[in-house]
Amino acid sequence: MYIAAAVLSVILALVSLAAGAPKALLKGDVSAGLQSHMGLSAGFVRFIGLAEVVATVGLVVGLFWQPLGIAAAVGVTVTLVGAVVFHVRARDYANPENRGNASAPVLLALVSVATVVTLNLAM
């Protein structure tokens, strides 16, 4: 079970880092889109990005100390559920142009829940 937990943790960490770094630096289209389309402030976008980067560190360290990995995976799950809520409010799931991007947090939330479960079972 530990191998599955480690693989899911690494996948989630890589995705979290790839998503969080541009937001933390306020670089790229995603940060601009969150500010213009979703109406989020630059400070809130940066906060989300920093939380994702910190979660990356927690997931990697959690490979060696599982309670931290579990906490980081739970934090990622909460962040992704928040992203789904924002996409629902922006009506992105009803818009075919935005539906693909809005579906990513749903899929990743499922991966993060699976990570939490497998880390708990591996303890």
Give the model confidence (pLDDT) of 69-114 as tens digits: 999 999 999 999 999 998 898 888 888 887 888 889 999 999 999 9
pTM above 0.85, yes or no: yes
Q: How many CB atoms lie within 10 A of CB 49?
A: 23
The pLDDT tens digits for 40-80 are 888 999 999 999 999 999 999 999 999 999 999 999 999 99
Every domain of the chain and the residues it spans: 2-122
Separation of alpha carbons 89 and 110, rounded Å: 20
